[in-house]
Amino acid sequence: MNLGELIDFCGNLLDYDPTNATYRAQLVALLNDSQVRLLTDRHWAFAQRQRTLSTYADLPATVTLTNGSSTMTGAFALSADVVVPGSSLELAQVKVTLPAGGFAYRQIRYVQSAVTAHLDRPWSGATGAYSTSLRRREVYLPSDTATLMNVADPSVSVGSPRQSLFLSKWERDAANLDQDLEGTIEAYLPSRSMRVRAPQAVTGAVVAGGLVGQGVRTITVYMVNVRTP
């Protein structure tokens, strides 16, 4: 039973008003809230799933940045696979070592090719080659994830994978943990929320002929933006 069937079922039992947009929005919110409560109230076996996700160590790289441009050139991993295309470097943080000391930070938004990537904003420093560290600290969960129960490292060579600690960012700072330390996973932290804006215009819609004499057809096109990876 999908959401539409649940709405119709609940609507028949309640004070049904299908033409009222506010009524439908409230009913959808009620059903979504009930689903979240059901799946998180107990550790139901049917709602549990084990997934293997990739985590990456910081990657040192030498790149070329141009003043006033958001394009970065270098050598970047890029997949041409039709199922998992693109690059694992997308949305990675670029920590740039400045010649005068200190660091500058950018984010990779799109890897165009094996030698070209695009940053979130133009480079304001001098044009030239820079030593950088590509940091992929955020692990993106599958879209059907309701809550996280445990994080374990399956590559542990001795014994069984042990449970990692959940830390808040306040606890991380209070314990003075170095965010640049690498090694065996001991703890994980929540990431910040992210909102992907809706499309501003419909793209890819084509008007097809061959329906003469078959009545008036109304086609509704829905679009959604998906942010990689």
Mean pLDDT value across residues 198-221: 72
- Contact criterion met (CB below 8 Å) for 215 and 181: no
Mean pLDDT value across residues 112-131: 94
CA atoms within 13 A on the CB side of 20: 9
pLDDT confidence bin for 210, thresholds 50/70/90: low
pLDDT digits (tens, 9 = 90+) for 141-193: 887 787 788 888 776 655 566 778 888 888 988 988 887 777 777 888 888 77
Q: How much is the pLDDT for 75? A: 94
Residues 6+ away with beta carbon under 8 Å from 189: 166, 167, 168, 169, 172
DSSP tag of 47:
G
Q: Kind of pairing, strands 71-73 and 116-119?
A: antiparallel
